[in-house]
Structure 1
Amino acid sequence: MSAVLDELAAGGVRLAVPLLLASAGELLSERAGVLNLSVEGMMLTGAFAGAAGALASGSAAVGVLTALAAGLTVALLQAVLSVTLRADQIVTGITINALALGGTTYGARLLFGDGAGDSVPGFDPLPVPVLHDLPVLGPALFEQSALGYLACAVTGALAVGLARRTPWGLAIDAVGEDATTADRCGLPVRAVRYAVVLLTGAVSALAGAQLALSEVHAFSDNITAGIGYLAVVAVIAGRWRAWPTVLACLFFGVVQALQFAAPALGLHVSAPLLTTLPYLFALLAVSGLVGRSRAPAALTVPFVRGT
């Protein structure tokens, strides 16, 4: 039983790492007033570009850089559409996701049609001496790859930066609550929103690279399988706060891992039911049944100077 619990914890954290990164970026974006549904497309593009870059260069590190460049490109498109052109954020996000799915699927046919995408250079686990031998938490936290440790560090830094006592966190909250007043107080509203959308693109691409280069060392069609949408759910379930969102991601990761560990634990629960649990939890969060929840007041509201 102990071995099964170790495997469940390790699998839960492993599955939660890409989700943590993506949800951290989405939380930044939503707290600044931009609903960034295209996080799924950013992740998928990052995974594809990371795998392609690593395969072409033979270096996983180059793959990460390629993923970041691709994610920033998608994020720039999202920022232009939602911040500059003030297009509907839901429509643009879904459209970008559809383009990313179609583009990466076609690109995979061209680059990986011979099966080359089934094994790309990646990052292997780097166990931390002594700490990885700790029961339950050891294998879960201290047997990550180098990219996994980087992802956890970036997530922690973003969570700290979002604290309401930091200048960065205060500026984001001000823009997300009342962009017009923030502009009158001298805050560069459009610059802040551009910054958070681009940062979301970078961390989402890193999440995609983590999935492709650390978890499976391969790329397949729709490899993200809705993790980007689940990141949006995690932000809602976390009630637009940093640490509750982190806990929601860990919960979702364990629930996903439970699909594989349930038989060994003697649990007879259908996989579809476990798959719906994260979304049910988010529904409870926004309904107020698990505590008060209020989205940023200016979320999805385009900023027009002088209004």
Structure 2
Amino acid sequence: MSAVLDELAAGGVRLAVPLLLASAGELLSERAGVLNLSVEGMMLTGAFAGAAGALASGSAVVGVFTALAAGVVLAVLQAVLSISLRADQIVTGITLNALALGGTTYAARLLFGDGAADSVPGFDPLPVPVLRDIPVLGPALFEQSALGYVAFAVTAVLGVGWARRTSWGLAVDAVGENATAADRCGLSVRAIRHGVVLLTGAAAALAGAHLALSEVHAFSDNITAGIGYLAVVAVIAGRWRAGPTVLACLFFGIIQSLQFTAPALGLHVSAPLLTTLPYVFALLAVSGLVGRSRAPSALTVPFVRGS
């Protein structure tokens, strides 16, 4: 039973890593007033660009930087449309996700038509001696790949941006709650919103690269399979707060891992039911049945100076 619990925890954390990265950027974006539904497309674009870059160069590290560049490009498009041009944020996000899905599927046919996508250079696990032997937590936290450890560090750095007691966190919150008042106080609303969207793009692209280069060392059509949307759900379920959002990501990861360990635990639960549980939890969170939930006041509201 101990081995099964270790496997459940390790699998849960491993599956939660891309969620943590994507939701870290998404939380900042939403707290600044921008609903970034295109995080799914940014992850998918990052996964494809990372695999393509790694395959072309023979280096997984080059693949990571390629993924970051591609994610930021898509984030720039999102920022221009939803912030500069004040297009509907929901429509923009869904459209960019469709563009990313179609674009990466077509490009994969061209670049990986010979099956090369199944042999992409990637990152292997790097267990930390001694720490890996800690019961339950050891295999979960200290048997990650190099990119996994980088993901933990990036999430922690973005966590500083989450903190409401830092000047950056206060500025993000001010813009997300009342953009007009923040502008009158001298804050650059558009600059802050552009900045958090670009951070979201980089974090989501890194999450996609982690999927392709650390998890499977390959790229397949729609490899993200809705994980980007689940990152948005984690922010909602976490009630737009850092700690609960992290817990939501870990919960979602463990639920996904349970699909593989349930038989060993003696649980006879259908996989489709386990897949839907995170979204059921999100609905409960939004409805207020698991605690009060209040989104930032200016979320999805375009900023117009002088309004």
- The TM tier, using the shorter chain, reads over 0.9
Report the Cα distance in structure 2 between the residues aligned to 1:246 and 1:2, rounded to whole angstroms. Answer: 25
Kept in 1, the 8 Å contact 2:78–2:93? The answer is: yes
Report the Cα distance in structure 1 between the residues aligned to 2:94 and 2:291, rounded to whole angstroms. Answer: 29
Within 5 Å, give how 1:34-183 maps onto structure 2: 34-183=34-183
Q: Deviations over 1:134-162 (max 9, x none)?
A: 11111100000110001011111111221
- Give the stretch that moved more between structures: 248-257 or 154-163: 154-163
Within 5 Å, give how 1:230-245 maps onto structure 2: 230-245=230-245
Report the Cα distance in structure 1 between the residues aligned to 2:109 and 2:303, rounded to whole angstroms. Answer: 41
Give the aligned residue type for 2:8. Answer: L
Report the Cα distance in structure 1 between the residues aligned to 2:29 and 2:21, rounded to whole angstroms. Answer: 13
Percent identity for Structure 1 against Structure 2: 88
Within 5 Å, give how 1:11-22 maps onto structure 2: 11-22=11-22
Give the aligned residue type for 2:135. Answer: P
Find the residue that maps to 1:264 and give its secondary structure.
Answer: coil
Kept in 2, the 8 Å contact 1:159–1:243? The answer is: no
Within 5 Å, give how 1:258-277 maps onto structure 2: 258-277=258-277
Give the aligned residue type for 1:13. Answer: V
Report the Cα distance in structure 2 between the residues aligned to 1:161 and 1:48, rounded to whole angstroms. Answer: 28
Name the counterpart of 1:282.
282
Kept in 1, the 8 Å contact 2:42–2:205? The answer is: yes
Within 5 Å, give how 1:164-203 maps onto structure 2: 164-203=164-203
Q: Deviations over 1:281-305 (max 9, x none)?
A: 1111111111111000000000000
Kept in 2, the 8 Å contact 1:11–1:253? The answer is: yes
Find the residue that maps to 1:292 and give its secondary structure.
Answer: coil
Give the aligned residue type for 1:48. Answer: F
Report the Cα distance in structure 2 between the residues aligned to 1:190 and 1:42, rounded to whole angstroms. Answer: 21
Give the aligned residue type for 1:164. Answer: R
1:211 equivalent to 2:216? Answer: no
Q: Deviations over 1:56-92 (max 9, x none)?
A: 0000000000000000000000000000000000000
Unaligned runs of 5+ in 1: none
Give the aligned residue type for 1:172. Answer: V
Q: Deviations over 1:183-217 (max 9, x none)?
A: 00000000000000000000000000000000000
Unaligned runs of 5+ in 2: none
Q: Deviations over 1:11-65 (max 9, x none)?
A: 0000000010001111010000000000000000000000000000000000000
Report the Cα distance in structure 1 between the residues aligned to 2:82 and 2:262, rounded to whole angstroms. Answer: 42
TM-score for both structures, normalised by structure 2: 0.99
Kept in 2, the 8 Å contact 1:79–1:197? The answer is: yes
Kept in 1, the 8 Å contact 2:28–2:161? The answer is: no
Report the Cα distance in structure 1 between the residues aligned to 2:81 and 2:151, rounded to whole angstroms. Answer: 28
Kept in 2, the 8 Å contact 1:19–1:230? The answer is: yes
Report the Cα distance in structure 1 between the residues aligned to 2:86 and 2:167, rounded to whole angstroms. Answer: 26
Report the Cα distance in structure 2 between the residues aligned to 1:159 and 1:235, rounded to whole angstroms. Answer: 13
Runs of 4+ in 1 over 3 A off after TM superposition: none
Report the Cα distance in structure 2 between the residues aligned to 1:245 and 1:127, rounded to whole angstroms. Answer: 27
Give the aligned residue type for 2:18. Answer: P
TM-score for both structures, normalised by structure 1: 0.99
Kept in 1, the 8 Å contact 2:259–2:271? The answer is: yes
